[in-house]
Structure 1
């Protein structure tokens, strides 16, 4: 079925790609992406794997009479930072994820 050791070579490539994917995931977890809303009044920071780690609010954004605007600014900043993190992850993991997804074919290999 796999003449000339092609199966062994295929398994080695899969293991290397899995290792590369794990390294990329670790790097993403350490990378932070920030985005702001309201001209910088609210800034959200998210890791490359999507964890919200910080929200910074400029005191000028705090108006006790208009809490809804602040809520909207926080939401917009978090959404923008999360979208940037997804884009970063896609750029970093894209080729690896596509290759592993297509190659494993749903075999349920560990870590994939």
Structure 2
């Protein structure tokens, strides 16, 4: 049985606030959200900023890249690697981060919560 969820869009930042092929962080509804401008792919992603491995707010500072065509981010401290599409940890099945929809419109980045 599928359940419908309502997405509320929040203005997170301006496009220029997030470096190309890098990340930044926004506080939305009291939660730190990591936002990634994957310019090489022409795509935007958003995830929890907290790495579940050691509960550190660091994911937004991670390095982005691809693994077998899948966009990913590596935690800068312990190198746990997460899919930017699904949040699954690509090098340790014990971990996962939440992902959020992203919409870019009129130079603003919106995150769906």
Same fold by TM-score, threshold 0.5 exceeded? no
- 1 or 2, which has the higher strand percentage? 2
- 1 or 2, which has the higher helix percentage? 1
Task: Give the TM-score category using the shorter length.
Answer: under 0.3
